[in-house]
Structure 1
Amino acid sequence: MTTMPPPSSTTVSPSRTTCASLLHELQGKGPLKQQISAVNPVLDELRLKKQERMKDFYETETQIARICAEIAGSDRSFDSADPEIDERDLTMKRLGELKSHLKELQNEKSLRLQKVNSSIKKVHELSVVMSIDFFKTVNDVHPSLSDQSKVQSKSISNDTLARLTSTIHSLKQEKQQRLEKLQGLGHKLIELWDLMDMPVDERRLDHVTTLISASVDNVSRLGCLAVDVIEQTEVEVERLNALKASKMKELVFKRQNELEEIYRGVHMDVDSDAARQILISLIESGNAEISELLASMDDQITKAKEQALSRKDILDKVEKWKFASEEEQWLDEYEKDDNRYSAGRGAHKNLKRAEKARALVSKIPSMVESLTSKVKAWELERKVPFLYYKAPLLHSLEEYTMLRREREEERRRSREQKRLQEQFAAEQEALYGSRSAIKKPLGLSTSANTMAGTPTARRGVTPFGHHASSAGKQRGESRANNVTPINYVALPKDDSVSRGC
């Protein structure tokens, strides 16, 4: 029942005051009938005022009762029920108190209606994102909330507000759970796409991956968290997992090929057959998780690239050293050709090449020294030997330096021997005079090459050439035989083309 301010006990009705005053004035002014005739118009006016006042009280108390019922959540209708009006107090003061109370209730109703509308809007936003039946959801809270005809006013009761709050909380939790599930599925999609190098045009449900970094409050696209979207994504992940299993070997060996290519590019030896056999065993056993295996291989590739980068400067110097050594060998052959100065075809080119080769050969000692310093610094930093085709590069440099020193010594002895022979011949000629001797015709070369052509390179002191069965056996042979470092394979070279260092 409505709570209204109690009537004041000290209030005096204005009609009573008016009647008392009127009776006092009529006393002693004619007969009673005349007095009554004089009073009737006043009474009629008072009765009309009372009816109007009663109507104001009725309307005010009816509105108060209706709003109180709405707030209380009562289903009772007050349209035809008459509120109880205390006719003993129909003063304007009492009416003002009732109207003031009605104003407070109307303000509260307005605030409650705003809360209800705001809650309904929030329910609608959450519903469309998740493709949930909005009308069913609000109808479960209160039937008046889903009445589109607006015949029935929206419920503003405490119970309705509480149930709306609970519904919004439940929908937010559901939205959070669905978003987290789709984000997890989105991560799996990207992982599988990258794992299998899937083309962009074959990547289905890519709109799901856009939710990965989204916060729950920023997700508002229509139906993006619908149940069917989650189910479709789950089906796609299952399909890709099945496809991944069939492509497992292909993916693994693609990584292995990349790894081997990196090693080959920097002249590092790798046992490809053994590595591939291990990978096949892991895959066929089913004990290896493909993602972990590929992640491990990616780590190896990253480390191989880092190691290759650290070797690049040294390898560039090795190539220059090898080229200079090849030019030195060519120069040796060229200088042994007696016809090198004849006016044959290509002679001028060989003369130019020989000039460049002499300048380059003079730099070999400094090249080897610089390269040795680089290799030592590299090994000191990494605590491992610098391998080049399975053998330590430092050993090859040391062996090359030793063999080159031996060859220089041989050249010195050869020049000394030639000088002594010429000196002896001159002394003999001075003692006995000149003797006729059969000499070789001019223009004939002692080497196999004639016509002033480019000398054919033969094996000499070049790094990484074919080595004999053992270094000891090779050193036991004639010093004239040139020795190359062990455990390396000679690279084919084109002696007819001059290269810059």
Structure 2
Amino acid sequence: MTTMPPPPSTTVSPSCTTCASLLHELQIIWDEIGENDGERDKILLQLEQECLDIYRRKVKNTRKYKADLHQLLADAKAEIANLVSALGENASLFSPGKGPLKQQISAVNPVLDELRLKKQERMKGFYETESQIARICIEIAGNDRSIDSADPEIDERDLTVKRLGELKSHLKELQNEKSLRLQKVNSSIKTIHELSVVMSIDFFKTVNDVHPSLSDPSKAQSKSISNDTLARLTSTIHSLQQEKQQRLENLQGLGRKLIELWDLMDTPADERRLDHVTTLISASVDNVSRLGCLAADVIEQTEVEAERLNVLKASKMKELVFKRQNELEEIYRGVHMDVDSDAARQILISLIESGNVDMSDLLGSMDDQITKAKEQALSRKDILDRVEKWKFASEEEQWLDEYEKEDIEAIEVIWFSYVK
């Protein structure tokens, strides 16, 4: 704050005597001393010169004091003008008026103090607003430098309410943008967590690889929302979704293989393990959400089981082939069809021992034969039923003929007996 310079110091006489009384006293002293007139004139001239010098210095100092007051008033007016312009205030409300310099300065100082306080408060508002803008911009840009180091440069030439309002509107837009980005980040983290749970992948390591701030639940509001982080989250989700799709397809293939082997070897239902795998055969990738159902160890376990069944299939295939042959022979015998069991079994043994036939194809071929045999047996059974009915009808007709013949003979015997 500009202060008023002190007035030049003045010498106050310790007595109330005037210059004339002092001069008279000096004359008496000179008379007593016996000072001559020449010396007296010389001393009086010297006193006169000293008085003039004192007055000149006083006038000079007073003139300088006046100039300082003018400068002080001018500086105050200039500062008021700058503050009024910067703050966008009405200049006519801060006129110092007219009057002596000290009066004008006294009128200006309260106005200047008020404007300075208003500027300080306005600067605080600008600083807070621009600091928040700078922090959000740094978060969005993803700069490595600390957000706390964001120190905005404020243009003190424009501190108007309009400008502050524009900055606050811009801040509101950035806050909305930050909120949307934070929602995207949280949504992406949730998706990554769901995918990680399904595949038993380390969730915290996955999001930490994207950005360290994402793996700390206690820092929900300080998560990275930069373009790079959003892009990396999108890429991570895409990779996990592809991995999920591949794992599901792998397990579905293994599940179908298990069912094929179980059916091939007539495995009882209570021995068919890994139901949690076979239930995924018809599932779509979006509907698979069970905890750990696509874990790497589940896939490995399923692969081991499929390999075990493959090994078991080789040892049980011969047994299955002859089981199918027995079923085929039973069908033929059931409809009284002749079949050379020994020859058929010998052919099967030769095929198996030669190793030139795929056992699965052989079983499939025998299943086809069984199906055809059942169809033939059904057709033959219908014919046999008709023959059986015809035989029964013929026997019944023959019995009736014999019965009627016996009745006629009996009647003839009775008749002849009566005639005689």
Q: TM-score w.r.t. structure 1 length? A: 0.59
Give how far 1:212 is off. Answer: 0.4
1:170-249 equivalences in 2 (<5 Å): 170-249=239-318
Which range moves more in the overlay, 111-120 or 316-325?
316-325
CA–CA separation in structure 2 for the residues paired with 1:225 and 1:274: 50
Task: Give a deviation string over 1:319-349, Cα, whole Å, max 9, x none.
Answer: 23445667789999999999xxxxxxxxxxx
Give how far 1:115 is off. Answer: 0.7
Q: Is the contact made by 1:57 and 1:95 (CA closer than 8 Å) also made in structure 2?
A: yes
Give how far 1:78 is off. Answer: 3.6
Give how far 1:487 is off. Answer: 52
Q: Is the contact made by 2:200 and 2:295 (CA closer than 8 Å) also made in structure 1?
A: yes
Confirm whether residue 314 of structure 1 aligns to residue 383 of structure 2: yes
Pair 487,263 (structure 1): closer, same or farther in 2 beyond 3 Å? farther
Pair 99,485 (structure 1): closer, same or farther in 2 beyond 3 Å? farther
CA–CA separation in structure 2 for the residues paired with 1:24 and 1:320: 184
Confirm whether residue 37 of structure 1 aligns to residue 109 of structure 2: no
Pair 248,143 (structure 1): closer, same or farther in 2 beyond 3 Å? same
Give how far 1:290 is off. Answer: 1.9
Give how far 1:3 is off. Answer: 40
CA–CA separation in structure 2 for the residues paired with 1:67 and 1:43: 36
Pair 83,71 (structure 1): closer, same or farther in 2 beyond 3 Å? same
CA–CA separation in structure 1 for the residues paired with 2:15 and 2:161: 12
Q: Is the contact made by 2:135 and 2:150 (CA closer than 8 Å) also made in structure 1?
A: no
CA–CA separation in structure 2 for the residues paired with 1:128 and 1:80: 39
Stretches of structure 1 lacking an aligned partner (at least 5 in a row): 339-478, 490-501
Larger helix percent: 2
Task: Give a deviation string over 1:394-430, Cα, whole Å, max 9, x none.
Answer: xxxxxxxxxxxxxxxxxxxxxxxxxxxxxxxxxxxxx
Pair 324,73 (structure 1): closer, same or farther in 2 beyond 3 Å? same
Q: Is the contact made by 1:5 and 1:98 (CA closer than 8 Å) also made in structure 2?
A: no
Stretches of structure 2 lacking an aligned partner (at least 5 in a row): 27-96
Task: Give a deviation string over 1:101-140, Cα, whole Å, max 9, x none.
Answer: 1111111111111111110000000000000000000000
Task: Give a deviation string over 1:160-202, Cα, whole Å, max 9, x none.
Answer: 1111001000000000110011111111111111112212221
Please give the secondary structure, in 2, of the residue aligned with 1:483.
helix
Which range moves more in the overlay, 222-231 or 11-20?
11-20
Q: Is the contact made by 2:191 and 2:237 (CA closer than 8 Å) also made in structure 1?
A: yes
Pair 202,11 (structure 1): closer, same or farther in 2 beyond 3 Å? farther
Give how far 1:239 is off. Answer: 1.2
Pair 82,146 (structure 1): closer, same or farther in 2 beyond 3 Å? same
Which range moves more in the overlay, 35-44 or 304-313?
304-313
Pair 151,265 (structure 1): closer, same or farther in 2 beyond 3 Å? closer
1:289-300 equivalences in 2 (<5 Å): 289-300=358-369
Task: Give a deviation string over 1:244-272, Cα, whole Å, max 9, x none.
Answer: 11111111111111111111112222222
Pair 149,327 (structure 1): closer, same or farther in 2 beyond 3 Å? same
Which range moves more in the overlay, 240-249 or 43-52?
240-249
Please, what is the CA RMSD of the aligned residues? 14.2
Pair 183,15 (structure 1): closer, same or farther in 2 beyond 3 Å? farther
Q: Is the contact made by 1:260 and 1:272 (CA closer than 8 Å) also made in structure 2?
A: yes
CA–CA separation in structure 1 for the residues paired with 2:415 and 2:25: 149
Pair 144,486 (structure 1): closer, same or farther in 2 beyond 3 Å? farther
Pair 228,248 (structure 1): closer, same or farther in 2 beyond 3 Å? same
The runs of at least 4 aligned residues of structure 1 exceeding 6 Å deviation read 1-26, 325-338, 479-489
Q: Is the contact made by 2:139 and 2:147 (CA closer than 8 Å) also made in structure 1?
A: no
Give how far 1:54 is off. Answer: 0.5
Q: Is the contact made by 2:188 and 2:237 (CA closer than 8 Å) also made in structure 1?
A: yes
Task: Give a deviation string over 1:431-450, Cα, whole Å, max 9, x none.
Answer: xxxxxxxxxxxxxxxxxxxx
- Picking from 181, 189, 192, the partner of 1:120 is 189
Give how far 1:488 is off. Answer: 52
Which range moves more in the overlay, 258-267 or 56-65?
258-267
Pair 207,81 (structure 1): closer, same or farther in 2 beyond 3 Å? closer
Pair 295,140 (structure 1): closer, same or farther in 2 beyond 3 Å? same
Match of 1:15 in 2: 15
Q: TM-score w.r.t. structure 2 length? A: 0.70
Larger Rg: 2
- Kindly tell me the number of residue pairs found equivalent between the two proteins: 348
Task: Give a deviation string over 1:240-299, Cα, whole Å, max 9, x none.
Answer: 111111111111111111111111112222222222112112211222222221111111
Give how far 1:232 is off. Answer: 0.6
Pair 189,486 (structure 1): closer, same or farther in 2 beyond 3 Å? farther
Task: Give a deviation string over 1:141-172, Cα, whole Å, max 9, x none.
Answer: 11111012318711111111111001000000
CA–CA separation in structure 1 for the residues paired with 2:401 and 2:23: 157
Which range moves more in the overlay, 284-293 or 92-101?
284-293
Please give the secondary structure, in 2, of the residue aligned with 1:12.
coil
CA–CA separation in structure 1 for the residues paired with 2:13 and 2:401: 142
Task: Give a deviation string over 1:327-376, Cα, whole Å, max 9, x none.
Answer: 789999999999xxxxxxxxxxxxxxxxxxxxxxxxxxxxxxxxxxxxxx
Give how far 1:79 is off. Answer: 2.1
Task: Give a deviation string over 1:25-61, Cα, whole Å, max 9, x none.
Answer: 99x7331111111111111111010001101111111
Give how far 1:15 is off. Answer: 52
Q: Is the contact made by 2:126 and 2:154 (CA closer than 8 Å) also made in structure 1?
A: yes
Pair 46,314 (structure 1): closer, same or farther in 2 beyond 3 Å? same
Give how far 1:210 is off. Answer: 0.3
Q: Is the contact made by 1:7 and 1:94 (CA closer than 8 Å) also made in structure 2?
A: no
Pair 31,177 (structure 1): closer, same or farther in 2 beyond 3 Å? same
Please give the secondary structure, in 2, of the residue aligned with 1:76.
coil
Q: Is the contact made by 1:175 and 1:225 (CA closer than 8 Å) also made in structure 2?
A: yes
Pair 41,7 (structure 1): closer, same or farther in 2 beyond 3 Å? closer
Give how far 1:226 is off. Answer: 0.3
Q: Is the contact made by 1:128 and 1:222 (CA closer than 8 Å) also made in structure 2?
A: yes
Q: Is the contact made by 1:2 and 1:65 (CA closer than 8 Å) also made in structure 2?
A: no
